[in-house]
Amino acid sequence: MAGRRALGWLILGGGIAAVAVLAWQSAQPPRGNRDSAPGRTARRTRWGEYAVTGHSVTIARPRAELYAFWRRFANLPQFMANLDSVAEEEGLTRWTIRAPMGRTVEVRTRIVTDQPGEVIAWRSVEGSEIDTSGKVMFADAPAGRGTVVTAIIAWDPPFGALGQMVARASGRAPGVQSRHELKRFKMLMETGEIATARRRPEE
């Protein structure tokens, strides 16, 4: 039950924040908005058992560079505020995510797609504390503006729809987190640092 509560507070930290819906998408017929808007912008945010969120950001750097930085998962805590650490073990990736009150949540994923310079997708495995999947895609932006990076994440919300509402109200919804993480990723890649208004390290 402690695990379930931790999930309730889960901040996917964006780490997982990039996680893919591929496997799940192929398992279900596409439903939702019937216009040209990306599915993740549909007014309906539940897709079967899963909540889905996703964001795009344009980064003025080449596709290959961004892919390479992201693919080295150990780099991700540099811009994912709630990601404590990432470790590779036995073909799986173990994500340790900070939760409130000094606790951590562990998610284990395996890569399901890896196309250099284009897409990385992954999905949680049996025994992971969270059932989630996601992907991050890299595409050339028009007019030489760099690369459009799109991260999509699907997860089985702890406590269902109610838990999702609570998470959203507390600003800890993965949707907000992933949007912030992508912006930090952009800052780091474009400027070499992440903006802060602090005046001293201890602030």
Instruction: Kindly list the residues in this chain that would bind another protein in the complex (CB under 8 A).
Output: 58, 60, 145-146, 176, 180, 183-184, 186-187, 190-201
> Which of 123, 186 has the CB closer to another protein?
186
Q: Could you please report the per-residue DSSP string of 103-166?
A: -EEEEEEEEEEEETTTEEEEEE-TT-SS-EEEEEEEEEPGGG--EEEEEEEEE--TTHHHHHHH
Tell me the C-alpha distance between 73 and 75, whole Å: 5
> Which of 5, 145 has the CB closer to another protein?
145
Rounded to a whole number of angstroms, the minimum distance from the CB of residue 44 to another protein is 22
> Which of 108, 186 has the CB closer to another protein?
186
> Which of 40, 180 has the CB closer to another protein?
180
Rounded to a whole number of angstroms, the minimum distance from the CB of residue 176 to another protein is 8
Tell me the C-alpha distance between 201 and 107, whole Å: 30
Rounded to a whole number of angstroms, the minimum distance from the CB of residue 143 to another protein is 10
Q: Which residues contact 37 (CB under 8 A, 6 or more apart)?
A: none
Place of tokens 């395996």: 110
Rounded to a whole number of angstroms, the minimum distance from the CB of residue 148 to another protein is 12
